[in-house]
Amino acid sequence: MSKKYFGTDGIRGRVNGEMMNAETALRLGMAAGQYFRCGEHRHRVVIGKDTRLSGYMIEPALVAGFTSMGMDVFLFGPIPTPAVAFLARSLRADLGVMISASHNAFEDNGIKLFGPDGFKLSDAIEQKIEQLMDAPADDLVPSAELGRAKRIDDSQARYIEFAKRTFPKDLTLEGIKLVIDCANGAAYKVAPTALWELGAEVISMGVAPNGININKGCGSTDTAALAERVRETRADIGIALDGDADRLIICDENGTVIDGDQIMGLVARDWQARELLSAPGIVATVMSNLGLERHLQDNGLSLARTQVGDRYVVEHMRQHGFNLGGEQSGHMVMSDFSTTGDGLIAALQVLAVMKKTDKPVSDLCRVFTPVPQILENVRFSSGAPLEHADVKAIIAACEVKLGNQGRLLIRKSGTEPLIRVMAEGDDAALVQQLVSEIVDTIQTVAA
């Protein structure tokens, strides 16, 4: 059964549009509150958010929905998504909520839900909540049983201490100069503070949010300014988070960008050598580079692939006993520490390897040679371009041309009105040709 509101990462859309508005947030709060209100204990929900202006609209709408169902609400303010997952468990909440559209521009916003175990909700639970959202609100509590809301002042400090405990106790970051770009987002306070307290010389960027500059010219999706600052300051490493700090991209000392595949490869080999892998391999998505898969195989490790979305990576990890997974885009899931992607914790793992090996990032993070891979996004306004006969025909023709020399992946984004066209293979010219042919056809159909 397809879902009406939820995508691959919660509910997301243009603010005050058809999907992401105050009414949706209110109905979601009521429906989720109704679903999770079971047992005789006093029910509680924790809510965090990033720095988007629209958070001021969505947060009180959610609070109204939850309190109308008799749930007490703890408000954290700006805090990373993984902090919400952690604090939902730490504070024994029935539900964790993060208001964020992650890497999207400020005009978008979203709502992510975590269960009491700190994991994102399953498709089945999301579908049940959707059914309640569209049903009449007939389960409101009596006046005397309404929930209360209060702000929690020490939530950031709690998360900082939690993140610091994931760094090896016998190491410090003294002697490392780093640039941290917080994307003017949720980690603008906690990430620089944690790194400084561990001993690093910290140069901060993207730490002046104004409600509309989140991810704008900064963060993990736009690393040009970070790379330039790394070169200017002669820093050892650049660290880029996205708007809700659940993903990580880094730059080496030369300003060269290093993606999630290389980071996963580095951590996998380090954990393999230290016998920390709970299974002989890692979990990634269909977007991860074929070069990573070949590298892992050469070292006796497997690469299990899932559909795009860190929630699906986590589900596979839990089902099959893996403790390391992630996405090329920078989500890093290290289940020994966290239940979801955590950019800061992933950065600390890379920094730990730097300190132990005393190698520059340019050497350390060139784990494998990537197979030529090209990804282009095609924006569309309506309809279903992938269902058009011309698009189906060109995809089939390109698959024949590529044969068994690479991979072709075309999919609709779960968070934006985009068609993502990806091809990879040993023949770079052929890969570019195939992507261009498919993109041109989709653009013609979608015009």
Is 92 a domain residue? yes
Coil, strand, or helix at residue 283?
strand
Higher per-residue pLDDT: 123 or 183: 183
218 and 262 in a common domain: no
| Domain assignment of residue 395, given as a range | 373-446
Q: According to the model, what pLDDT value does residue 83 have?
A: 98
Whether 280 has a pLDDT exceeding 80, the answer reads yes
Whether 135 has a pLDDT exceeding 70, the answer reads yes
Q: According to the model, what pLDDT value does residue 404 have?
A: 82
**What's the pLDDT tens digit per position in 172-230?**
999 999 999 999 999 999 999 999 999 999 999 999 999 999 999 999 999 999 999 99
Average confidence (pLDDT) over 137-157: 93
β-sheet bridge partners, residue 46: 74, 96
Q: For a pLDDT cut of 70, what percent of the chain falls above it?
A: 100
- Cβ atoms of 79 and 156 closer than 8 Å: yes
Query: CATH number of the domain that 87 lies in?
Result: 3.40.120.10
19 and 52 in a common domain: yes
Coil, strand, or helix at residue 351?
helix
Q: Is the Cα dihedral 28, 311, 339, 209 positive or negative?
A: negative
Is 1 a domain residue? no
For residue 246, count other CB atoms closer than 10 A to its CB: 34
- Cβ atoms of 306 and 312 closer than 8 Å: yes
- Cβ atoms of 94 and 112 closer than 8 Å: no
306 and 222 in a common domain: no
Domain boundary at 153, 172, 203, which? Answer: 153
In the chain, the number of structural domains is: 4
Measured between alpha carbons, how far is 4 from 409 in angstroms, rounded to an integer? 24
Query: CATH number of the domain that 439 lies in?
Result: 3.30.310.50
Catalytic position from the list 54, 68, 100, 102: 102
Q: According to the model, what pLDDT value does residue 1 have?
A: 57
With cut-offs at 50, 70 and 90, classify the pLDDT of residue 416: confident
89 and 15 in a common domain: yes
223 and 166 in a common domain: yes
**What's the pLDDT tens digit per position in 20-65?**
999 999 999 999 999 998 877 889 999 999 999 999 999 999 999 9
Is 78 a domain residue? yes
Average confidence (pLDDT) over 272-292: 95
430 and 307 in a common domain: no
142 and 21 in a common domain: yes
Poorest-confidence range of 2-11, 24-33, 221-230, 431-440?
2-11
**Radius of gyration, CA atoms only, the chain:** 22
Indicate the angle between helix axes 190-197 and 155-164, nearest 10 degrees.
40
Whether 413 is a known active-site residue: answer: no
Question: What predicted TM-score, i.e. pTM, was given to this entire model?
Answer: 0.89
Is 204 a domain residue? yes
Q: Is the Cα dihedral 48, 50, 51, 55 positive or negative?
A: negative
